Structure 1
């Protein structure tokens, strides 16, 4: 992947931390994300262009939704540039508005677990495939439609590590989270991924 595109998807992934994301009556503060580099990232849905991933090749700040194992919906922010297919998976967040509604949707899970993990996050926000392609920066859209809040300057430390559950490019440290947040999910390595090597902790984003 080109150095400029690598830097862009990493920068945009980190910039999502601390921002609000609203949908269907619930708002979260994003605490954990994963970056995917598109057509040059073997762990990305856009690595092989299919009808399912087509929205990832479009303009940035659109919502890409897919179902994981046919069960859980997952929400991703397309980051662009157009035709690159880069996107950021929303992995976790803290519910800051609409918590009663989120509790109902999540069967009264503990508050710090309401949007902990990508499937739970989408469930708390009631995001489904009907939201695919939503313009997240459209301020004229209905209030229930998924929307991304403005970029914020926070003072929390941002930590990084390998992405969860991917079998290819498994050691690329493109998972980012706000340190100390209870809503951040646990790391699980894919059983199909090669065993970590001595250089695992030294892999840099530009090494993809």
Structure 2
């Protein structure tokens, strides 16, 4: 029996904060321009949109409601919200919650487990394998996902195996059959103000995994 199974929309119907631990150890596979890469997810951050959950999330792109930029976050679960950070880095989120309820899980880091040669060509600055997808911009680059070309791509697919090569761009999310038990939580990385403090311990990572990124506080993210 394989260690993973295809994710379903039902797996992602709850809020991002509820779903977050389940995505640790999951595998996201992409085929972009015929090149296949798979990443085992080791670090994620949860974000809620306006009206989602019990606490307003001031760190979310969707905190003020739906816009052209964050529209994918308000769609059905399982699509990928791919946005541009600092005008350079394409970052990848898995959308959670039912359509009309915004939520996203930012994929902060992972281990490249398939297509290492392809990922290395896309990430020539990576000096060691653990750095190929260590950080959200690096992960997006390793997977070949780019804003705006791939924003909204669907990562929920049938259980049938993929062909070895596919034209265009495809994504597939598979969940670990056994949930990760040893994981840690803490403040989100680089998020400004209170949203980047221990008041929002919405970052989840596999404890001790070498691919997890380094924590850096955001602007004015001062603990009370």
Mark yes or no: TM-score above 0.5: yes
Partner of 1:138: 157
Please list the CA deviations of residues 48-90 of structure 1 after superposition, one character each: whole Å capped at 9, or x if unmatched. 2210101111111110000001100000000012222111000
2:180 equivalent to 1:163: no
Q: Are the counterparts in 2 of residues 106 and 114 from structure 1 also a CA contact under 8 Å?
A: yes
Q: Which structure 1 residue ranges, 5 or more long, are not aligned? A: 1-6, 198-208
Where do residues 10-25 of structure 1 align in structure 2 (5 Å cutoff)?
10-24=17-31, 25=36
Whether 1:174 aligns to 2:212 is: no
How many angstroms does 1:8 deviate by? 3.2
Alignment of 1:1-208 (within 5 A): 8-24=15-31, 25-39=36-50, 40-48=56-64, 49-107=66-124, 109=126, 110-129=128-147, 130-139=149-158, 143=166, 144-168=169-193, 169-171=195-197, 172-193=200-221, 195-197=222-224
Partner Cα distance (1:184, 1:45) in 2: 23
Residue 22 of structure 2 contacts residue 179 of structure 2 at CA under 8 Å; is this kept in 1?
A: no
- Residue 149 of structure 1: CA displacement? 1.0
Count of residues in Structure 1 that have an aligned counterpart in Structure 2: 190
Contact 1:62 / 1:136 at 8 angstroms: preserved in 2?
yes
SS at match of 2:124: coil
**Distance in 2 separating the partners of 1:152 and 1:180:** 21
Report SS of the residue matched to 1:164: coil
Q: CA deviation at 1:155?
A: 4.8
Question: Could you give the per-residue CA deviations for residues 17-67 of structure 1, whole angstroms, max 9, x where no partner exists?
Answer: 001001131001000000001113211111122101011111111100000
Q: Does the CA-based 8 Å contact 1:27-1:97 persist in structure 2?
A: yes
CA deviation after TM superposition for structure 1 residue 185, in Å: 0.1
| Cα-Cα RMSD | 1.8
Segments of 5+ residues of structure 2 without an aligned counterpart are 1-13, 51-55
Using the size of structure 2 for normalisation, the TM-score is 0.80
Flag the structure with higher helix content: 1
C-alpha separation between the residues in 2 aligned to 1:155 and 1:64?
24
SS of 1:45's partner is coil
User: Does the aligned pair in 2 maintain the 1:156–1:179 contact within 8 Å?
Assistant: no
Moved more, 153-162 or 31-40: 153-162
User: Residue 145 of structure 1: CA displacement?
Assistant: 0.7
